[in-house]
Amino acid sequence: MVVDHRQHHVETLRSAISVLIYPIQYLVNLPVAVGQWMGESVSTRENLLEENERLRMQHLLFKAQLQKLAALQVENIRLRELLQSSRKVGENVLIAELLAVDLDPFSRQIVINKGSTDNVYLGQPVLDAEGIMGQIIHLGPFSSTAMLITDPNHAIPVHVNRNGLRAIAMGTGTPDVLEIPYMTNSADIVEGDLLTSSGLDGRFPRDYPVARVTQVAKNPTQPYATVVAEPVALLERSREVLLVWPSDKLAQPSTTTPMSDAATDSKPAAETTSTQISDTAAAKPGSETASTPPIPPADTLAPPQPESAAEANPAPEPNEGQ
């Protein structure tokens, strides 16, 4: 062993023996290697499945957030348009959201999420980012109903923006269709004219877009022309609306007081007013200055003395039951 250690005479033999023993070592180590490989494979597959599931959930979450982000982006655009619209109006405004739509095919009404608690009043104008939508017709504490300008029971005074020609835009019950009646054949109105609110009704803000003329049919045999217009407001698509408080309405007291309270409060006021009027009428004489009524003499103020004791102590009347 010392000679082999120093001169390496058995190195070749040892190499040959290691070549012969290697297959035996491989076969002996094969079950351990196979077990480790299988364990790593199973563990790696489980890790991959867990990671795949986690990534799938994150992907779904991100997609949902992306959809919400897209909806918020569109809503932000609508609110910015409403903000620019409110600046055009130049009045106090309140943004309301749409709650419901009337399903009656011959009616055009919507329900919004603002009511008397928000100082909404009957007849209040309702607008969107494009133009006038309608007005409030029913009022509740937390919601209200608005009639759109296309409702067959609605009419709004307008004028042609090009020349100031006055007209009335009436609803037809058909979406996106307004009728302009009583326009003579000689009236200066053409297709494409913009109709704006005239403000003569005292409700809608003046010079705000209402509709655009889409059809003008003049028949010489008829006294009036057929004029049809399309609302500029997105009546069938708007989700947010503007409630407008004109400047003249801001000076008036709120109309949200219940009728019973108003009647109760108005009754004492009426009595006070009538009392003041009667006192004023009593204090106002025929002359310019009111004279103090004369004081009666002292003898007239004393009660009359009885003439006899019988009169002073009258006998009690007999009881009918006795």
Sequence length of the chain is 322
Kindly report, residue by residue over 100-157, the tens digit of the pLDDT: 998 888 889 999 999 999 999 999 999 888 889 999 999 999 999 999 999 999 999 9
Range of the domain at 205: 93-250
Q: How many CA atoms lie within 13 A of 65 on its CB side?
A: 6
Does residue 128 share a domain with residue 195? yes
Q: How far is CA 79 from the centre of its chain?
A: 12
292 pLDDT above the threshold of 60: no
User: Tell me, what DSSP letter sits at residue 177?
Assistant: -
In this prediction the pTM is: 0.55
- Closest by CA position to 156, among listed 173, 168, 146: 168
Does residue 99 share a domain with residue 42? no
Residue 312 has what pLDDT?
46
- Is 51 among the domain residues? yes
- If one counts the domains in the chain, the total is 2
Kindly report, residue by residue over 51-106, the tens digit of the pLDDT: 888 888 777 777 666 666 666 767 777 777 766 655 555 567 888 889 999 888 88
Q: What is the DSSP string of 243-300?
A: EEE-HHHHTSPPS-S-HHHHHHHHHHHHHHHHHHHHHHHHH--SSSSPPPPPPPPHHH
- Is 184 among the domain residues? yes
Does residue 120 share a domain with residue 56? no
- Is 26 among the domain residues? yes
Last residue of one domain, picked from the residues 66, 84, 102: 84
User: Tell me, what DSSP letter sits at residue 76?
Assistant: H
Kindly report, residue by residue over 222-279, the tens digit of the pLDDT: 989 999 999 999 888 888 888 988 766 654 434 433 333 433 444 444 343 343 434 4
Task: Burial-class residue 30 by CB neighbours within 10 Å (0-12, 13-18, 19+).
Answer: exposed
- Closest by CA position to 89, among listed 136, 144, 126, 143: 126
